[in-house]
Amino acid sequence: MKTLLLSWQFWAVGSAIFAALTAVFAKVGIEGVGSDFATFIRTIVILCAIAFMLSLSGGWQAPSTVTPRSWLFLILSGLATGASWLCYFRALKLGNASQVAPVDKLSVVLVAAFAAIFLGERLSAMHWLAVGLIATGAVMLTMRI
């Protein structure tokens, strides 16, 4: 069990499950609520939950232990996350969760491209094929048949 908890695959699958639940719960919860206000409520809940988990695990650390470079990129990441959430909730307000979520998951395709371009990560031909299939599947799920 300890090995499982230390594997990135375990946590990635958990992320996918919770992301799926996020879409379903948000689509129901956003009825009669402005999408930006819904995002605000979600953010408060996340902030409280993370603070609670840090307190339980003793994971708090002094802000001075974070390097300026890390601060910069964590702030940029936070701004990107906030923008993503605002866009996501607006899309959920206007569209079907079964169509919005797959388009949102085009982020997988973009991460692969950005990681190759900006981080120098190398994907094999088989991996690029898989990325292409993800993109194709996401687009196909948006089509009305």
Run means of pLDDT, 10 residues per run, the chain, 145 residues: 87 91 93 95 96 97 97 96 95 93 93 96 97 94 82
Task: Please report the pLDDT score of residue 141 as a whole number.
Answer: 87
Task: Please report the pLDDT score of residue 133 as a whole number.
Answer: 96
Task: Please report the pLDDT score of residue 144 as a whole number.
Answer: 78
pTM value is: 0.83
Cα torsion at 73, 13, 88, 48 (round to 10°)? -70
Total H helices, total E strands in the chain: 7, 0
| Burial of 45 per CB tally in 10 Å (0-12, 13-18, 19+) | exposed
Lookup: tokens for 14: 């958990």
Task: Please report the pLDDT score of residue 14 as a whole number.
Answer: 92
